[in-house]
Chain A
Amino acid sequence: MCEFVVYLEENGSKEREVVARKIIKAKKRDGKTVLMDTSGNVTPVEHVSIEVVDTLMQELILRKER
């Protein structure tokens, strides 16, 4: 709940890749999804939308925008 593992899913695929771990904040900025981890490191991800926020599984799932 405090920290998320962030996955990226391709449209129409159940496979997913880990984009970032220990993420405490996600924000849309200038068309990008910006992820910040517990060390303050920032990972910008382009052309994605936030698909699922799941506190029980501590997962945040991004999906590529078409």
Chain B
Amino acid sequence: MKKIIVTGKGGVGKTTIIATLSRLLAREGHRVLVIDCDPSMNLAMSLGVSLSDVLPLAENKANIHAKLELDLDDEHAHENGNEIEIDEVIEDYIVETKDGVKLIVMGTIPYGGSGCLCSSIALVKLLIGYIASGDNDFVMVDSQAGVEIFGRGLASEFDFTLVITELMPKAIEVTRHVMTLSRDLGVKKQIVIVNKVEDGTECETISRELGLNADQMYSVRCDKKVIEADKKGLLILDYAPQASVVEDIQRIKEEILEG
């Protein structure tokens, strides 16, 4: 099983790319589980599912807590990690989406002053530890924008960090920071995906700024069809399967399969 985390500055196109990438992998018969850790919770919609059909983890912590036997009342309960049937614990929270991609949504901040996301991220981290022994080919985490989730160590020992960026100074700075933290966590490979590329010079500039090798960088072309699809509430893979953006994400999929 390969574990992939996807992040980047807000608004760079992270959710569109992870939704499309996960579906392309699933179309080839790979078992893909995507975990939406972004409190804006847009991934469900990007995979063709209404949020009302999703049961977020954060709203059901007590139930999961009980199923994972985290009360620790039985001192022998966790001596053998295989005793927990993780599929039974998370089955209520998995939604099957387009092309068979399975989705879990971490959840959001329910009301002002309700506290931080730390405990929800800790729960996802715990679940990923269990899920790692399951039968998925890929577990992909859609991170909240920025670097917070790396500070929490959620991506520790992952196979790939995909950092989505664009030719904007702030986005490049976030990318630089993410790559540093990702290396700290022992992620095996960091890939920078330059989104909304118009003439290719964006990649040269970002490559120079970040000191990247060619095999660390992929470009996704700017495509008006993405915006058209978004405005119509459609998914790019359904609206324009021949779009250049889909073609570019196909190349990223190949890298992930080979890497």
Cα–Cα distance between A1 and B116 once the two chains are bound (Å): 8
CB contacts (< 8 Å) of A54 on chain B: these are 70
Q: Please tell me which one of the listed residues B61, B118, B126 contacts residue A2 in the complex, with CB atoms under 8 A apart.
A: B118
> A-side binding surface: helix, strand, loop or mixed?
loop
Please tell me if the beta carbons of B116 and A57 are within 8 angstroms of each other in the complex. Answer: no
The reply to whether the CB of B119 lies closer than 8 angstroms to some CB of chain A is yes
Q: Which of B61, B116, B119, B123 has the most CB of A within 10 A?
A: B119
Within 8 A of B (CB), among A1-35: 1-3, 22
Please tell me if the beta carbons of B118 and A57 are within 8 angstroms of each other in the complex. Answer: no
CB contacts (< 8 Å) of B70 on chain A: these are 54, 56
Q: Please tell me which one of the listed residues B62, B65, B118 contacts residue A1 in the complex, with CB atoms under 8 A apart.
A: B118
CB contacts (< 8 Å) of B110 on chain A: these are none
The reply to whether the CB of B259 lies closer than 8 angstroms to some CB of chain A is no
CB contacts (< 8 Å) of B62 on chain A: these are 57
Please tell me if the beta carbons of A56 and B115 are within 8 angstroms of each other in the complex. Answer: no
The reply to whether the CB of B212 lies closer than 8 angstroms to some CB of chain A is no
Please tell me if the beta carbons of B115 and A3 are within 8 angstroms of each other in the complex. Answer: yes
CB contacts (< 8 Å) of B116 on chain A: these are 1-3
CB contacts (< 8 Å) of A58 on chain B: these are 115, 118-119
CB contacts (< 8 Å) of A56 on chain B: these are 61, 65, 70, 119, 122-123, 126
C-beta contact mask, B177-192 vs A, less than 8 Å → 1, else 0?
0000000000000000
CB contacts (< 8 Å) of A22 on chain B: these are 115
Cα–Cα distance between A56 and B121 once the two chains are bound (Å): 9
Cα–Cα distance between A54 and B122 once the two chains are bound (Å): 11
Please tell me if the beta carbons of B65 and A57 are within 8 angstroms of each other in the complex. Answer: yes
C-beta contact mask, A33-66 vs B, less than 8 Å → 1, else 0?
0000000000000000000001111100000000
CB distance from B68 to the nearest CB of A (A): 9
CB distance from A64 to the nearest CB of B (A): 20
**Which chain B residue shows the least CB distance to A1?**
B118
CB contacts (< 8 Å) of B126 on chain A: these are 56
C-beta contact mask, B117-152 vs A, less than 8 Å → 1, else 0?
011001100100000000000000000000000000
Cα–Cα distance between A56 and B119 once the two chains are bound (Å): 5
Cα–Cα distance between A3 and B113 once the two chains are bound (Å): 11
Please tell me if the beta carbons of B61 and A55 are within 8 angstroms of each other in the complex. Answer: no
A57-B122 in contact given A2-B115, A3-B115, A3-B116 (Cβ < 8 Å): no
Cα–Cα distance between A56 and B122 once the two chains are bound (Å): 7
Cα–Cα distance between A56 and B66 once the two chains are bound (Å): 11
Residues of A within 8 A of B (CB): 1-3, 22, 54-58
Residues of B within 8 A of A (CB): 61-62, 65, 70, 115-116, 118-119, 122-123, 126
User: What are the 5 A-B residue pairs with the smallest beta carbon separation, nearest first?
Assistant: A1-B118, A2-B116, A1-B119, A58-B119, A2-B118
A-B contacts, 28 of them at CB < 8 A, read A1-B116, A1-B118, A1-B119, A1-B122, A2-B115, A2-B116, A2-B118, A3-B115, A3-B116, A22-B115, A54-B70, A55-B118, A55-B119, A55-B122, A56-B61, A56-B65, A56-B70, A56-B119, A56-B122, A56-B123, A56-B126, A57-B61, A57-B62, A57-B65, A57-B119, A58-B115, A58-B118, A58-B119
